[in-house]
Amino acid sequence: MEPTHLFELVIAMFLAIIALHYAAHRLGLPPSVALLTGGALLAFVPGLPAISVDPELVLVIFLPPLLMDGAWAIALARLRRHMIGIASLAVGAVLFTCAVVAVVAHLIFPSLPWAACAALGAIVAPPDAVSARAVLERVKLPRRLQILLEGESLLNDASGLVLFRFAVAAAATGAFSAGEAIGSFFVLALGGAVVGVVVGTAWVKLVRRLGDEYLIIAATVLLGWISYLLGELLHVSGVIATVTTGLIASWHQHTVFSAATRMRGTSFWTVMIFLMEASVFTLIGLSLRDVVERGGGLTTVIATMGLPMLAILVTLVVARFAWVFASDLVIRFCAALGVTRAQPLGAGGATVLSWAGVRGVITLALALSLPEGFPGRDFILATSFAVILGTVLVQGTTLGRVIAWARLVETETERARLTMSQAEVAMVQAQLGTVQSLAYDAEGKLIHPPLLDRYQRRATVIVDYAERTEHYKPVLHAHFDVVLEAVATGRRELIRLHRAGDIDDETLDELERDLDLEELSAISAKA
């Protein structure tokens, strides 16, 4: 395909994304469902060139920024608090699901080598970060379940990738060592974390020196790719490196970003991530044609592989339910013995957590990366696509109803010590102290009365300023200098409350946005 035609196809895909997203909104469907279905239908449009997805390129292009975005938005305090539960899902559930799927696949096809069965299990075991967020952004969950699902989707890719690589190597060499696999996983994870810390720390120091907001935004956009590629270059986990870097950057962005950088950067980043997420689902749909052609046509695929693919999909869902409910029983038992203060999720919470395991780009990329001649490659490809379709179309569309059925409530331990209103009172009181200390001159004369009743006097001051600009300019400059000092004081107090654990990330983000707007308004008024 000529480069110009390829570019035209990319633009056409973006236009299709907008149309499909709009259609999903009008029909009340999850956007991921519309994009995946629309991409699959477009794949069979006569005259449209076949789309061949390079799995390595897909991972390098899409995975780092999407992981970065997830790490940037995650509530770090709750991530630490629920790290054991997240590790249970990201490592334990992936290992268990991989093993169960491998056993069922070997029972269905006894001639299929165990290594190939394990490769299938590793491919379909980890729920996908992009798919999970595409589903979660349309539903309301208690914070504990939200953080468990978000944390799992960030970290389980590393488990799946390690399992997959060992399974492929075992198929090629005929040798496998469980001890070596476990040791390799911890080395890769630890090495990835070290790389992430180094890259994240370097980014913080760089941003503090750059000064130019567009350079800062550009450096931040590249951060995920830099961390991922460096991790892979050093043969450690690029996934863990990217997530670690994202967590560090997220923690420090409140202090190293100016208001203008944060607001402009957030706007650009949001649009970029929207296009990337939508492109992932559309590309998955477009790749259906290649998968079907490899299997000998849609009719042949359904006739020869339909029941085995359905069996693997059901096994996948049942295995996740088994792991989540068994883990919840262990927590309940330990809590009864006084071993832990953690509370069990209950039947409703465990059901929602089990049903939310949606697969996506990682599953497709790993399946497509299987080498030619790999045992059972066509079956693994078809099954992987069936798993993506089944989980996105069925679980993704019904998760809202499952949540409504479960009638979940927020537990007291997950609530922050201060509410939004209480945090705002603390912030405003800190600002008021600064205004009171700066609103009087050395003789004790009030020189900034509009600050005491800003909204009531705003219209009069603006009209008077327009008529007597030169007279009021010095006074108003001093006025907005005090406003900026008050904003800075409020920001420091807000960050102090967050660092002390008195408020959560949502409260911090909401009130910080208000301060950003106030700061930009004051800077604009001084210009």
Q: DSSP per residue over 341-387, as a string?
A: -PPP-HHHHHHHHHHT----HHHHHHHHTSPTT-TTHHHHHHHHHHH
Task: Check pLDDT > 80 for residue 186.
Answer: yes
Radius of gyration of the chain measured on its C-alpha atoms: 27
218-227, 352-361, 450-459: range with lowest mean pLDDT: 450-459
Residue 454: predicted pLDDT? 61
56-80 residue pLDDT tens = 887 888 889 988 988 888 878 888 8
Q: Which residues contact 297 (CB under 8 A, 6 or more apart)?
A: none
User: Average pLDDT in the 343-359 region?
Assistant: 87
Give the Cβ contact number of residue 108 at 10 Å: 16
Assigned token pair, 105: 């696949």
Query: What does the alpha-carbon distance between residue 488 and residue 480 come to, in Å, rounded to a whole number?
Result: 12
Query: Which residue, among 388, 308, 345, 313, has the nearest Cα to 89 in the 3D structure?
Result: 345
What's the whole-model pTM score?
0.77
249 residue type, one letter: A
Residue 459: predicted pLDDT? 40
**Residues comprising the chain, all counted:** 527
Task: Check pLDDT > 60 for residue 421.
Answer: no
Give the pLDDT band (50/70/90) at residue 55: confident
Q: Which residue has the tokens 């268990």?
A: 96
56-60, 401-405, 473-477: range with lowest mean pLDDT: 473-477
CB 163 within 8 A of CB 122: yes
Residue 419: predicted pLDDT? 63
Q: Which residue has the tokens 């979940």?
A: 408
Query: What does the alpha-carbon distance between residue 271 and residue 265 come to, in Å, rounded to a whole number?
Result: 10
Residue 440: predicted pLDDT? 74
296-310, 468-482, 487-501: range with lowest mean pLDDT: 468-482
Residue 12: predicted pLDDT? 87
CB 63 within 8 A of CB 280: no
21-35 residue pLDDT tens = 898 888 877 787 888
Q: Which residues contact 201 (CB under 8 A, 6 or more apart)?
A: 248
Query: What does the alpha-carbon distance between residue 116 and residue 237 come to, in Å, rounded to a whole number?
Result: 23
Task: Check pLDDT > 90 for residue 246.
Answer: yes
> Phi and psi of 409, rounded to 5°?
-130, 150
Residue 444: predicted pLDDT? 79
Give the Cβ contact number of residue 139 at 10 Å: 17
Q: Which residues contact 228 (CB under 8 A, 6 or more apart)?
A: 60, 63, 64, 67, 238, 239, 241, 242
Terminal CA-to-CA distance of the chain, rounded, Å?
Answer: 52
Q: Which residues pair with 440 in a beta bridge?
A: 446
Query: What does the alpha-carbon distance between residue 258 and residue 213 come to, in Å, rounded to a whole number?
Result: 8
Grouping H, G, I as helix, E, B as strand and the rest as coil, residue 416 is: coil
Between 191 and 359, the higher pLDDT residue: 191
Residue 441: predicted pLDDT? 80
Task: Check pLDDT > 60 for residue 337.
Answer: yes
Give the pLDDT band (50/70/90) at residue 457: very low
Q: Which helix (H) or strand (E) holds 393?
A: none
Between 326 and 454, the higher pLDDT residue: 326
CB 406 within 8 A of CB 351: yes
Task: Check pLDDT > 60 for residue 49.
Answer: yes
262-308 residue pLDDT tens = 888 988 998 998 888 888 888 878 777 777 777 777 777 788 888 99
Percentage of residues of the chain with pLDDT beyond 70: 87
Cα dihedral 510→512→514→520 (10° resolution): -150
Tell me what the pLDDT averaged over the chain comes to.
83
Grouping H, G, I as helix, E, B as strand and the rest as coil, residue 161 is: helix
Q: Which residues contact 222 (CB under 8 A, 6 or more apart)?
A: none
User: Average pLDDT in the 363-370 region?
Assistant: 82
Helices (H), 211-297: 213-233, 238-256, 259-286, 288-294
Cα dihedral 361→55→386→117 (10° resolution): -110
Query: What does the alpha-carbon distance between residue 515 and residue 510 come to, in Å, rounded to a whole number?
Result: 9
Percentage of residues of the chain with pLDDT beyond 90: 25
Burial state string for 187-199 with b = 16 or more CB within 10 A and e = fewer than 16: ebbebbbbbbbbb
Task: Check pLDDT > 60 for residue 458.
Answer: no
The greatest distance separating any two alpha carbons of the chain, rounded to the nearest whole angstrom, comes to 94
What DSSP letter does each residue of 422-467 carry, written as one string? HHHHHHHHHHHHHHHHHSB-TTS-B--GGGTTHHHHHHHHHHHHHH
User: Average pLDDT in the 478-489 region?
Assistant: 88
Query: Which residue, among 190, 261, 192, 185, has the nearest Cα to 221 in the 3D structure?
Result: 261
Between 105 and 34, the higher pLDDT residue: 105
Q: Which helix (H) or strand (E) holds 106?
A: helix 94-108
Residue 463: predicted pLDDT? 54
Q: What are 423-429's contacts with CB under 8 Å, separation 24+? A: 423/494, 423/497, 423/502, 423/503, 423/507, 423/511, 424/511, 426/493, 426/497, 427/490, 427/493, 427/494, 427/497, 427/511, 427/515, 428/490
Give the pLDDT band (50/70/90) at residue 477: confident
Task: Check pLDDT > 80 for residue 412.
Answer: no
Residue 453: predicted pLDDT? 62
Give the pLDDT band (50/70/90) at residue 175: low
